[in-house]
Structure formats: structure tokens, C-alpha cells
A and B are shown apart, each in its own frame.
Chain A
Amino acid sequence: MAAELTREWSDEQLKSDDLAKKDIIKFLQDHGADSFLAEHKLMGNIKNVSKTAKKEQLIAAYNNLFESKRFKGTDPLEKVTEQVKAVKIEEKESKPEEVVDEGPPKYTKYVLKKGDKENFPKKGEAVGCWYVGTLEDGTVFDSNVTTSAKKKKQSRPFSFKVGLGRVIRGWDEAVLTMSKGEKARLEIQSEWAYGRKGLPDAKIPPNANLIFEVELVSID
């Protein structure tokens, strides 16, 4: 895949003081195969290589490169190494690092009805919500919304102080992003819900992801 390279510098130019060691090293690192560089001890930080390599060595390496034609891409190993390097980089970018207090939110929010976009609850404030909680298979395990006309006047929104760890983490984090009047569908992963234990009393199995439809009706 490497195109045929032409010599840029003549022998005289190489020996000349005008041409810095670093330039030769850079050229060699840019165009030489990994195994070539390894053999000639040319791998690594240019400054360091410059300290340890004499100009004569570099000139010899330069000449050797063109004689052996061991340019980048000609190394059978190199291809694999490049591929491995590429894979590693990919993984690093897509998977967020697992740090204790950070990491991507373990829930997703789909807004069903927009709120006023002005009044957002602050940590420690009391909020009132209507909600329906279901498992992934659709089973409703809890709700404070009643459809029967008689009870409607008697039921009240669920009230709690947000952001203090009093509710499952998915709720705490999601409600802080909601504005007054907003209705949203929250899909909360089990780690931010009831985790490995689940809640057998409430028919929530272990490792259950929970789905809530939440309407934020009041902020204190």
C-alpha cells in the first residue's frame, strides 16, 4: 500500500549540519516499517531517539531503508498491530469509563407533553407527581393515578423532596430535568432502580428495568 518513496536527501545533505537529527528521525518514523524502526532503535519520542542515536547511525538507517524498502505497510506484522491499535481506540471512545460517580445516566427520558420549560425543581424542593409504573412486560406494579371517578377526587399527587436520595436514582435524576407540567416516559435501568435485589413485595423481580410515565404537576 505504501507508494514507492523517492530519496529526498542526498548523502551530502544528510551529512550536512543544516539537516537536524530530528528531521531524519521524523522521516524514518513516518515512513519506516515498525520492525525496521525497532531494529534500528528508532521507536519512541523523537527527542529521546535524538539523544541516543548518532547522526552516522541515522544516515545509515536512512540508506538502509531505501535499500531494503522496508517502508510502512510492508511489514506483515504491522498490519495486525495497526488493526489492534485501531480497535483499542474504538473501544475507548464508545464505552464510557466506569468511574464511581460519573458515567452516562442509566435512564432515558421521552417527553410526552412539554412542560413550561421555566420552572425546574431544585435539589431539596418538594415536588408532586402523578405516575404509572410498569415492568418491561407491561405489568403495572404501582400507580397513583386512578381512573374511577369516585376516587379521583380523593387521590393526591405523590409528593417527595427531589435530589436527596429518597427515591430510586432514576427518579431523582430524571425529575430534576423536568419542568412544571411536563409529562415524560422514563425507562430506568435496574441499577438506578431496585438493582439485583428487586422488590419481591411489590412484584419487582431482580435486575428489572422499570418504565414510569411521570407527570410533574407541582413544585414547592
Chain B
Amino acid sequence: MALHQLHDVIRRCQAIPDDGFKAEDYDQFQMAGRSCLEEGKTAEVLDIVTDENNKEIVKSMGWNLLGPLVKIVLRKEAESLQHCLTTLKHVLEVCSPKELLVGLLEQIEDADVDNIAETIILLLQPLQIALLKLGKKKASSLGMSLSTVLNQISQLPVPYTKEQEEDDVYGLCQCCAALIEFVKPFVDEVDRGRESKAIVAENEQRTELLKFCMKSLGNPVLQSQLDKVPDSAEDPPLRHFATEILVILSCIGESFPALLLHHLVKKKVESGFLEEDVKYPKESLACLSYLLFVQHIGIERFPTVFSPVFILQFNMQYIEVLLKSSEESMLSKGLELYEKSLQRTEDNSLPMQLLEVKCFLRVPQDLVTVMTLCPIQHLRTEALAVFQLCMDKFDTEGKHKLFGCLLKINQHAGVQGYIIKNIKNQIDFSLKPGNSNVWFSGPQLLPLLHLVLSLPEGPETDLLQNFDRIMGSLNLLRYLLIRDKEWDNHTGIWTELYKIEENFLKLLHTGLKMSKAHYEAEIKNMEENRRRGPKESKGVCTLTVGDEKLSNMTPEMHLQVLQSAMFTFDLIESVLARIEEIIEVKVKP
């Protein structure tokens, strides 16, 4: 049936002069052609298409058959496959590149998620041929093609382990490899063009290739695991893809320092800052920096003249972008980039003035967010290690300022406790002979001490929630009273003691008294309820987590919680008592 219709259309169109075809003609040809192919009349379609008499018709309308042809090829049915492939090849040779482009991109764009990889791999080469036929006017078409292909590739899941990468179930790695082959001739054109100080056309093409590289770096490179495989000479596919992208950037004349530092160059605002965002997206540049400084891919094309502090400085903005993400792949890259940048500098070398650059305070805060809120355990641990490294790199004045700022900004008791421990270590270091400095064993220490030796909310401070911080402070105080002799008073603690007693210790006593009284009353209440009998005692509270109601806390459990709170208060009290003992002995002769 369909075959008849197709023959009819052909016969009719043969009578019409070139370019006289109407919309209905195209539609009929397409419908008839599609039906024939779907009915399996692939051999007949091939004959019609390759018939010399039908040359003009095929030239104008042939590209409409792309859709059904591709569908059949992807299905891989043995009988039709060869005919369809040949038909496809013929159509690609004969039809106008502009129309082919439209057809091919349409096919790629419309592909089902399951077919994306196969479609891309099938059509990339025809796409390349069509583009090359466009000659010097291809830049925007090239850009559109690259953008469409990358959009589809970004839908493919990125492998997480090396095994997954090898298996490549969703075809991402194959697509990436095919993509590199696809762009090669276009890159070569630009490369050659640079030598002859070429024309505008090459410049537009160069811009499209730059956008392509930047987009690829943003996805899939940024999401990929890029470590080398130990004991293997070959690079795994995604690492290879990343390497090739950097090669392309060099071939089209981009310099890595210029890219990473471009925000420092004052340019006149280009037409529409959207262009800037597309040409230099922060996430892609962050990925570039990661590739250079963590994976050492392309590092041979980065000058070995920059000072380590400067490298840390310009990397901070990229680290910030990565650390603000919630994706594991980006977070871990951010942590590694921060770590590597810090490691290049010497301990105790970063000057305080760096902290006046906003990123230098924001990024440690981002670390704290990861340390305290990230659900992935190994990232929390890594973040803590980098946090310590960051503090170690500043000189004493820098450390002093950093500790003060971090204590003021952070409410998390555990983090505060950790910083207080660092302060104690710095004081300890500076009390050793030859290490004294004004920041940790002189008048400058006092404001920091007062910050530490205080209760954040006065006597109403929740002692349980702030336990880590309070114990940190008490331990620091106890250490100072023992270590810094009254007659030395290097840290000034002895002259400030009366203030600390008023503003800290006294309030702590009050807080402890209130808390203990409260909890004692609660415990008494509970025990009375228990005595009254099981009927009357109910669960005290209900908890709902994620739409699931947790089973009520039994009275026994509740009692345990209350008692453990009491133990905590006792612990705080015992350290407090010890401190007061020391003071008694030393102050009152």
C-alpha cells in the first residue's frame, strides 16, 4: 500500500519543475516513505532513492527520511539494516548540508534517554561531514551542533567507580571519545588559521570551540572521577577526555593563566554579560584549575613562575564555587583543590592581610558547613583536615585574626571547641622559650581570651548543647592557670582573672545551678509517675521523622536521658571546682 503511494508521489513530483514542490508534496513523501520503511520495504525504498531519475526529488526531500531510517538502524534488525544504512549514506551524500543538519540535530535532540548514546555515535560522523560542507559559514551551526550533543550527553549518568567506567553501561565514555574525533577537523582549522593571522570566520569558530570546551568541563568532566588508575599505562576514558579538552583549548590559542586570571583583567563590558558567563563560566574554570593543580593534567602548559600565595589567592574563588555545591563530585574536587593550593605554601607564612580578601574568610566557613552538615562521612573528615591545614598556614597574626573571626561567626559548639583547642596550642607554643609573640603571649591575646572564656548566652546558655565549647574554655583556663606562673603572667591571665571570674565562672555556676535544679525536678516527676503505676505513665513526647512516627520514648529511656544530662553537669562542675582550687592556692597565699 504504502509503496504504491510512494510511487505515486514520486511520479507526480517528477513532473513538477525543481523547487516547485509544495508542503503537501513533502508531507506525502515523508509519510509514504516512512510507512514503507516501517513495513519492511527497505530494499524498494533504497532502489527509489538511488534511482538517477529521482535525483532532484531525493535532493530536496530525502532528508525527511532521516527519522525513520535512524529508528530502524537503531533497532538493528538484520534484514533491514544493510539497506537502511546504504539509503542513509546516499541521502547524506546527496542532500543539502543545511537541511541535513536540521534533520540530524532533530534526531539527536529527540532521542529517548535509552538511545541517546547510540544515536550520537551513529550520527556524529554524518554531522561532521555535513558541517564541513558548509565551508566558512559553519561557525554558528557548529556551535548549535556541539551544544545539542552536549545537552544530550549531560543526561547520561556519570560512572562513579572505575568498574562502572569500564562497563560504560550508558555509553557516556563512548560518546565522549566520539565527540573528540568529531571536533578534530574543526580544531585543526582554527589551529592552522592562527598561523596565518586569520579572518573573522575562524574567530567565530574559535569562540564556538571555546564555549564547547567550557561546557564540557562543566559537564561531564566536573562530575567524573578523574584519578589515574595505578599500575596502568593508559588513562581511563574520562580522564582521557579531560586531557583532550585541555589540548583543544591550547590548540585554539587559549592560555591557561589567561583563563584562570581573566577576572583580574579589566575589560570593557562586552555586549551582554551573558556572553561572559558562557565563555568563562565559573564552574568550568574551577574544573580547569582542579585538572591543572590536583590532577596535573596540562600543568606543563602553565608557567612555573607564579608565587604559591598568588596561586592560592586566585584559586579561592574556584574553591568557593565547588564547596558551595551539594554534589559529592564537586565537593570532593573543591576540598582537594583547597588542600593542594594550601600545601604549596609554607607553614606559618600567610600574612594577616590576606584575610581582608572576603573569600579567605568565606571559604573556611564553607568548610565548616561541609564538616557539620554534609551527609557523606569521608567528606566531613576531609573537610576537617583541610580546616586544620588552613589554620596552620597563617602566621601568628593571621591565626589570631582567623580564630577571632571564626569564633564570632560560628555557633556550632563542636567547631568552637576545635578552634579553642587550636588557640590553646598556639599559646602553648608561644610560651616556649624563643617563641614569644604579641599575639598569643602578650596584650593582644586578651580580647581573644575574653571571647573564649565566656558563655555565649550568659547564664541561660544551654550547657548541654554548648558542652564542647564550655569544656574547651574550661580546659584552656585550667591550662593557663597551671602553665603561666603568676609571677610571669605572660598571657595576662592573672591580671584578668577577676573579670573572668565575674563574667564567666560566676555565670557558669548560676547556669549549672539552674540546669541541675530543672533536671532534678524532671527526674523527680518521672519517678513519681512511675510509682503511680504503668497505666498513668505515658510517653512524654512524639517524634516524626520523614513522615514516619518514631516509637515513643519509653519512660526508662527518658530517665536515662535526664540522668546522662546530670552526669554532664557534674563533669562541668568538677572541672570548675578544680579551677577554683588552683586559683585559691595561687592567689590567696
- A and B pair up: yes
Nearest-Cβ distance from residue B506 to partner chain A, whole angstroms: 44
Q: Does A117 contact B (CB under 8 A)?
A: no
Looking at A153, A156, A166, A197, which has the most chain B CB atoms within 10 Å of its CB?
A166
Q: A150-B195, A154-B194, A154-B195 are contacts. A204–B310 as well, Cβ < 8 Å?
A: no
Taking a contact as CB atoms closer than 8 A, the residue among A153, A158, A171 that contacts B194 in the complex is A153
Taking a contact as CB atoms closer than 8 A, the residue among A160, A171, A195 that contacts B346 in the complex is A195
Contacting pair A168 B346 (CB below 8 A): no
A residues 140-188 in Cβ contact with B at 8 Å: 141-142, 144, 150, 153-154, 156, 158, 160, 165-169, 171
How many residue pairs between the two chains, A and B, have CB atoms under 8 Å in the bound complex? 51
Q: A153-B194, A154-B253 are contacts. A167–B344 as well, Cβ < 8 Å?
A: no
Q: Mark A183-211, 1 if CB is under 8 A from B, else 0.
A: 00000000000111101011010000000
- A169 neighbours in B (Cβ, 8 Å): 307
Taking a contact as CB atoms closer than 8 A, the residue among B255, B299, B310 that contacts A167 in the complex is B310
Nearest-Cβ distance from residue A54 to partner chain B, whole angstroms: 44
Contacting pair A197 B303 (CB below 8 A): no
Taking a contact as CB atoms closer than 8 A, the residue among A141, A166, A197, A201 that contacts B310 in the complex is A166
Contacting pair B307 A168 (CB below 8 A): yes
A residues 110-134 in Cβ contact with B at 8 Å: 131, 133
Q: A195-B346, A201-B296, A201-B299 are contacts. A166–B195 as well, Cβ < 8 Å?
A: no
Q: Does B304 contact A (CB under 8 A)?
A: yes
- A150 neighbours in B (Cβ, 8 Å): 195
Q: Mark A47-67, 1 if CB is under 8 A from B, else 0.
A: 000000000000000000000
- A168 neighbours in B (Cβ, 8 Å): 305-307
Contacting pair B304 A167 (CB below 8 A): no
- A165 neighbours in B (Cβ, 8 Å): 307, 309-310
Q: Is the interface of B mostly helix, strand, loop or mixed?
A: loop
- B194 neighbours in A (Cβ, 8 Å): 153-154
Nearest-Cβ distance from residue A208 to partner chain B, whole angstroms: 11
Looking at B195, B293, B307, B345, which has the most chain A CB atoms within 10 Å of its CB?
B307
Q: A21 CA to B307 CA in the complex, in Å?
A: 65
Q: Does B308 contact A (CB under 8 A)?
A: yes
Contacting pair A202 B304 (CB below 8 A): yes
Contacting pair A196 B309 (CB below 8 A): no
Q: A199 CA to B305 CA in the complex, in Å?
A: 11
Nearest-Cβ distance from residue A153 to partner chain B, whole angstroms: 5
Q: Which residue of B lies closest to A154 (CB)?
A: B194
Contacting pair A166 B307 (CB below 8 A): yes
Which bucket holds chain B's interface residue count?
20 to 34
- A154 neighbours in B (Cβ, 8 Å): 194-195, 253
Q: Which residue of B lies closest to A166 (CB)?
A: B310
- B255 neighbours in A (Cβ, 8 Å): 156
Contacting pair A202 B346 (CB below 8 A): no
Q: A156 CA to B310 CA in the complex, in Å?
A: 22
Nearest-Cβ distance from residue B577 to partner chain A, whole angstroms: 46
Contacting pair B296 A131 (CB below 8 A): no
- B345 neighbours in A (Cβ, 8 Å): 197
- A156 neighbours in B (Cβ, 8 Å): 255
Q: A144 CA to B197 CA in the complex, in Å?
A: 20
Contacting pair A197 B305 (CB below 8 A): no
Contacting pair A133 B304 (CB below 8 A): yes
Nearest-Cβ distance from residue B320 to partner chain A, whole angstroms: 20
Q: A143 CA to B146 CA in the complex, in Å?
A: 34
Taking a contact as CB atoms closer than 8 A, the residue among B197, B299, B307, B343 that contacts A202 in the complex is B299
Contacting pair A171 B305 (CB below 8 A): yes
- B344 neighbours in A (Cβ, 8 Å): 197, 199
B residues 340-361 in Cβ contact with A at 8 Å: 343-346
Q: Which residue of B lies closest to A167 (CB)?
A: B305
Nearest-Cβ distance from residue B206 to partner chain A, whole angstroms: 13
Q: Which residue of B lies closest to A151 (CB)?
A: B195
Q: A181 CA to B309 CA in the complex, in Å?
A: 29
Q: A201 CA to B301 CA in the complex, in Å?
A: 12
- A196 neighbours in B (Cβ, 8 Å): 346
Q: Which residue of B lies closest to A202 (CB)?
A: B304
Q: A153-B194, A197-B346 are contacts. A204–B305 as well, Cβ < 8 Å?
A: no
Nearest-Cβ distance from residue A139 to partner chain B, whole angstroms: 12
- A166 neighbours in B (Cβ, 8 Å): 306-307, 310
Q: Which residue of B lies closest to A198 (CB)?
A: B344
- B309 neighbours in A (Cβ, 8 Å): 165
Contacting pair A194 B195 (CB below 8 A): no
Nearest-Cβ distance from residue B187 to partner chain A, whole angstroms: 13
Q: Which residue of A lies closest to B296 (CB)?
A: A201
Q: A154-B253, A195-B346, A201-B299 are contacts. A131–B305 as well, Cβ < 8 Å?
A: yes
Contacting pair A142 B304 (CB below 8 A): yes
Q: A169 CA to B299 CA in the complex, in Å?
A: 21
Contacting pair B307 A144 (CB below 8 A): no
Q: Mark B293-326, 1 if CB is under 8 A from A, else 0.
A: 1001001000111111110000000000000000
- A171 neighbours in B (Cβ, 8 Å): 305
Q: A77 CA to B29 CA in the complex, in Å?
A: 121
Contacting pair A142 B303 (CB below 8 A): yes
Nearest-Cβ distance from residue B74 to partner chain A, whole angstroms: 42
- B346 neighbours in A (Cβ, 8 Å): 195-197
- B299 neighbours in A (Cβ, 8 Å): 201-202
Taking a contact as CB atoms closer than 8 A, the residue among A153, A158, A195, A204 that contacts B303 in the complex is A158
- A131 neighbours in B (Cβ, 8 Å): 305
Q: A142 CA to B343 CA in the complex, in Å?
A: 21
- A197 neighbours in B (Cβ, 8 Å): 308, 343-346
Q: A167 CA to B302 CA in the complex, in Å?
A: 13
Q: Mark A13-37, 1 if CB is under 8 A from B, else 0.
A: 0000000000000000000000000
Q: A166-B310, A167-B310 are contacts. A144–B303 as well, Cβ < 8 Å?
A: yes
Taking a contact as CB atoms closer than 8 A, the residue among A133, A153, A195, A201 that contacts B305 in the complex is A133
B residues 142-194 in Cβ contact with A at 8 Å: 194
Q: A139 CA to B344 CA in the complex, in Å?
A: 22
- A142 neighbours in B (Cβ, 8 Å): 303-305
Q: A131 CA to B299 CA in the complex, in Å?
A: 17
Q: A154 CA to B253 CA in the complex, in Å?
A: 7
Q: Which residue of B lies closest to A195 (CB)?
A: B346
- B310 neighbours in A (Cβ, 8 Å): 165-167
- B306 neighbours in A (Cβ, 8 Å): 160, 166-168
Q: Can you list 20 A-B pairs, Cβ within 8 angstroms, ordered by A? A: A141-B304, A142-B305, A150-B195, A153-B194, A153-B197, A154-B194, A154-B253, A158-B305, A160-B305, A166-B310, A167-B310, A168-B305, A168-B307, A194-B308, A195-B346, A196-B346, A197-B308, A197-B343, A199-B344, A201-B293
With A142-B303, A194-B308, A202-B299 known, 8 other A-B pairs at CB within 8 A are A133-B304, A144-B303, A150-B195, A154-B253, A166-B307, A196-B346, A199-B344, A201-B299
Binding site for B on A (CB under 8 A): 131, 133, 141-142, 144, 150, 153-154, 156, 158, 160, 165-169, 171, 194-197, 199, 201-202, 204
Nearest 9 interchain pairs by C-beta: A142-B304, A202-B304, A166-B310, A167-B305, A153-B195, A201-B296, A168-B307, A154-B194, A158-B303
